[in-house]
Every structure is written in C-alpha cells, then in structure tokens.
Amino acid sequence: MNYLANFLTSLSLVFGFVSIIFSLESHFTFASWAIILSVIVDGLDGQIARRNPVPSEFGKELDSLVDVVSFGIAPSVLGYIFIYRSFYFWATLALFIYLFCSVMRLAKFNITPKEKLANYFYGLPTTVSGGLLASFILIYRKGKDISPLPPSIPMIFLFLVLLLTFLMVSRVRYLNLDGLKELFGRKIKLTVLVLLILLIIAAFLRKAGTAVFSLFLIYLLFSPFMIKRINNNLPR
C-alpha cells in the first residue's frame, strides 16, 4: 500500500511539473488540466494512504513537498504567465503571497494533531485552491492565436488569488474526504457517478472548465456549513 501511495504522489508531482512546462509554453489549457489531474491523483493517494495499518512518515513528507510544487508553484507560474501583461507588479506580488501561504498551509497541516482532523481541515486545502485557479483559467484561457483577455478578467483573477490566499491560512473549517463520506453516507458512490456523468456532458458541450470550476466553488462556499451538520449527527 505504501508503495502504491508513494507512486501516486510521484505521479502528482509529474503532473505539477508538466503544468509548469506547459505554462512556460503558454499552453494554458494543458497546464490547467495537468493541475486538475494532480488534484485527482492526490485524492486517490490520500485514500490509499489511510488504508495503511502503519502510517508512513516518509509518505507524509513526500506528499507535502509534492503539494508545494503541484498546488503552490504550478498554479503560481500558470497564473503569472496568464495575466502578467496586464498586472506585472501586482501579479508578481499576489502570486508570491499565494505561494507563501500555500507553503504555510501545508506546514500547519503537518503539525496539527490528526485527532483534530477527523472530518475536516483548518483552512482551505491547497488542492482546492490550485484547482480553482486552474479551472478559472480553463474558462478564460488564451493563447498566442487568441485575442487578449478583457481587462476585467485579470482583476477578477487577482481577487480570486487573494481570497484563496486568505482562506488557506484562515481557521475556516473545510470537509476532508472522510468528512465528505460522512456527509453523503451510502450515497457517496451514486454522487460520484452523477458528477462524472455531468462532467462528461459538460465536456461534450465544451463547458468542462466551467463545470470543474463550479464543483470547486460549491465546495469552497458550502463545505464550512456542512461541518456543523456532520457534528450534529455524530454520537455523543
């Protein structure tokens, strides 16, 4: 199990590195999807790691270091190249703060006692923040053969970066995968199946970026409110 979990963690790193390469080549669609694939692989890695009877300290540290690359550095590079023509200085400053706070978020997670993380995280997970930035760019992607972005898009993107930066280091609680299972109960498999069908339909309609962004946004907005519902249902 540990070997499989570490393999998936390494695969997440591959996707993060590929995203950086695509960003440098201004292939924003591929760079964004690489980050989203890294999010998916990271989730699978976490589920497999939880099934190990003996926790792996090496796997834990490896996962955090990979998350810095895939959900800290990769989204920062992608976002900077996406908007730097419009906001050179502010893009540099905002995305550096985003990177710094993503590292702080991961460090805080590593030192938080696991009994306090039964069903939720403190602060927005870096996977979600990276996925939100990547899926936003999927909606408004641009390339060398496409006209420049409307002036409002870089401003909205910078606002999103700063909002995610604040939420990552905040005390706001967000459901983890165990919390999501607790929330949906036996309907979790049906929920995943429905989401997959909706994503396939959205991809067929060329709205996959909008669909993925909407999923991440729903998690960001409603997850903190669902935690109270889970806690009320737990036996006392």
Place of tokens 């960003």: 23
Q: Are 212 and 127 in contact (CB under 8 A)?
A: no
Q: Whats the size of the chain, residue-wise? A: 236
pLDDT at 230: 65
pLDDT at 29: 92
Distances (CA, A) of 182 to 123, 128, 219: 19, 19, 15
Q: d(Cα 196, Cα 74) in Å, to the nearest integer?
A: 25
Q: d(Cα 136, Cα 127) in Å, to the nearest integer?
A: 14
Nearest of 44, 45, 37, 40 to residue 18 by alpha carbon = 37
DSSP string, 147-190: PPPPTHHHHHHHHHHHHHHHHHTS--EEE-HHHHHHHHGGGHHH
pLDDT at 73: 96
pLDDT at 120: 82
Q: d(Cα 167, Cα 114) in Å, to the nearest integer?
A: 20
Model confidence pLDDT, tens digit, residues 131-152: 999 999 998 875 544 556 677 8
pLDDT at 150: 75
What percentage of the chain carries pLDDT values higher than 70? 89
Q: d(Cα 221, Cα 168) in Å, to the nearest integer?
A: 14
pLDDT at 207: 83
Q: Are 194 and 201 in contact (CB under 8 A)?
A: no
Walking along the chain (236 residues) 10 residues at a time, the average pLDDT comes out as: 83 96 93 95 81 72 92 95 83 94 91 72 93 92 58 89 95 83 73 82 82 92 79 52
Model confidence pLDDT, tens digit, residues 13-30: 999 999 999 999 989 999
Distances (CA, A) of 54 to 49, 112, 177: 9, 19, 19
pLDDT at 95: 95
pLDDT at 144: 45
Query: The domain containing residue 157 runs over which residues?
Result: 2-233
Number of domains the chain contains: 1
Q: Is 206 exposed, middle or buried (0-12, 13-18, 19+ CB in 10 A)?
A: exposed
What's the CATH number where 117 sits? 1.20.120
